[in-house]
Structure 1
């Protein structure tokens, strides 16, 4: 991700990245607060410094240039910076209450936290519920507090079926729903499939919330979910089948665990693509997976072999079979 920065932010950006690299919480906070002192608006600090830097951290992890531990340390620093900016700039709420939450199983909380803070800066009375909020607890909270809207974040397309369940549960409370995050596609295409309002970023979310009636609860354009249900039921079988066909004799226990996790991601992403009837979802996941595995020295022919095994088992699943056969492994 290429950061588009003002001159002041542009000069601070490399120093901020160095602070993330060194897990220097105090240094990163000092940079953010100095920008505020220089007159840079708080939302610019959050969206044009913290957000692109965190995206860069994700790319470094994806290319195997950073470890998971480094990524977690940097994320913690960014979370502390967001908190410091929030404390330094304390606008009074002039607009209705809204609730922001990550759906159950969604642990990437920082993007949703950034949205929460930008909405707060724009005058909304924001309650941020954090990562992985179980739907029954979220519904109970909405019933109790009756906010203007609930904003749900989803970072991974493979979680779209669960996202739809959460959306429908929230709608039954009569609280309008707005969604965001990469999980709904770069252009929100899968939000449209699920029949729910979508915002591309925090500023867009504020604009949508200001619309009198943004959640029209349009009917989702999902196909019959019999094939999706069959994939979910066969998930463990499919993972075991693929494991049996791979030569894991030279793998360490940690590598075996990682392989099992990757197979789970493959099946879950395939199921999500079937759920929204869109081969591009699986294709984009495969491109990402191949980049991650290649950067870690995993031969990509093992991915192609796995797809062959799964496609042979799923001959009676026309969409899943076609998606597997159409996936480009390179």
Structure 2
């Protein structure tokens, strides 16, 4: 639910540069000092969250994807940004602003990440923006199992649940969480990259609202309550295309599909003969990611989800000087196993075409990472 602007406004150039240098350098104290100095000078906390921290976090993802930051640097930068946000909440200027707005809160909002979703910074930014605007916020953090989320809803009776997810493979879990919250009579607003361009999957999965960023989410909630969900609702009713059982088959047989592709891959990709145990383990993880994204695309019945992932991961390879054609054997082996499943076969065919096409520089982070088959290696 973060703003995705490429760069902060000009007046924040110096502050953004200071924060960028600090988070890339792993200097937590310098990062906190940079934002504290901005608050001391009168900058609004919400503006810093949305115009400095959020765009720089997006830049972290782009720089990792382009192989200009390591995984360790990316994780460190994210951790520092989270710490900085927490530190900002206790700054005297922010506390004074909260005290001036003291009184009955606008309402109670539960902010959580979908089960399996570890990318918590967008949800954290939303939680802080809502607090700044006078809401009582229960921030539940990353990877909240749906039963625990529902227990919290029953105990606290929030006016709305805000669910964040960045990775499209979490969409089935998001659908289950949305439906479970609605059964309690609680409306659900969703946000994050997982819901696709323009939030296209939000309405498909039955969400009561969608917002592209924290500012838009806060503005929508300020307009008035979200519509109450219907009293009786089943998630399966939203997606009649699942009746063909392709999604069910692929998710249930995913471990076997991964084992088959891994076992046969060396005959199609001879470089695997020299792989270390670590590389083979990472290759299995990478194949599992492909199967997961295939399942997610079948779940929402959108070829663009899978071809977008294929293009992204091919761009990752190119940025690391790994031959893009190393992706094709895995797609071919999956296609051979799924020849009797028309939607899956079509997705895999489209993905192969995407991989063979000219590739832009990769952006964002739709997967947890790559290694093994897609790992940079020496001859």
TM range, smaller chain: over 0.9
Equivalent residues in 2 for 1:157-196, closer than 5 Å: 157-196=168-207
What does 1:8-87 align with in structure 2 at a 5 Å threshold? 8-87=11-90
Q: What is the TM-score with the length of structure 1 in the denominator?
A: 0.95
Deviation (angstroms), 1:217: 4.0
Matches within 5 A, 1:137-152: 137-152=148-163
How many pairs are equivalent? 330
Q: Which string of whole-angstrom CA distances, capped at 9 and with x for unpartnered residues, describes residues 264-313 of structure 1?
A: 11111111111111000001111111122232343222211211111121
If the length of structure 2 is used for normalisation, what is the TM-score? 0.83
Q: Quote the Cα distance in structure 2 between the aligned partners of 1:200 and 1:81.
A: 23
Query: 2:140 maps to which residue?
Result: 129
Matched residue, 1:231:
250
Alignment of 1:274-313 (within 5 A): 274-313=298-337
Shift of 1:38: 1.8
Which whole-Å CA distance do the structure 1 matches of 2:155 and 2:220 have between them?
24
Deviations 1:60-98 (A, max 9, x none): 211222222111111111111101111121324631010
- Counterpart in the other structure of 1:200: 212
The superposition leaves residues 136-158 of structure 1 with CA deviations (integer Å, 9 ceiling, x where unpaired) of 11100100000111101111111
Matched, 1:260 2:278: no
Name the structure 1 match of 2:368: none
The CA distance in 2 between the partners of 1:40 and 1:222, in whole Å, is 50
Q: 2:108, 2:138 within 8 Å by CA — same for their partners in 1?
A: yes
Residue aligning to 1:220: 238
In structure 2, what is the Cα distance between the partners aligned to 1:274 and 1:6? 39
**SS of the residue 1:329 aligns to:** helix
SS at match of 2:142: coil
Is 1:9–1:35's contact at 8 Å kept on the other side of the alignment?
no
Equivalent-residue separation in structure 1 for 2:322 and 2:182 (angstroms): 43
**Is 1:329 aligned with 2:333?**
no
* Contact 1:100 1:116 (C-alpha < 8 Å) held by counterparts: yes
| 1:221 positional shift | 4.7
| C-alpha separation in 2, matches of 1:101 and 1:316 | 39
Which runs of no fewer than 5 residues in structure 1 stay unpaired?
Answer: none
Change (3 A) 1:61 1:114: same
Kindly indicate whether residue 222 of structure 2 is the aligned counterpart of residue 210 of structure 1: yes
Indicate the structure whose relative CO is greater, using CA pairs within 8 Å and at least 6 residues apart. 2
Matches of residues 238-253 of structure 1 in structure 2 within 5 Å? 238-247=257-266, 248-253=272-277
| 1:119 and 2:130 are equivalent in the alignment | yes
* CA-CA distance at 1:208 after TM superposition: 2.2
Q: In structure 2, what is the Cα distance between the partners aligned to 1:15 and 1:212?
A: 38
SS of the equivalent of 2:198 reads coil
Query: Once superposed, what is the RMSD of the aligned Cα atoms?
Result: 1.7
Structure 1 partner of 2:234: none
Given that 1:178 and 1:215 are in contact with CA atoms closer than 8 Å, whether structure 2 keeps it comes out as: no
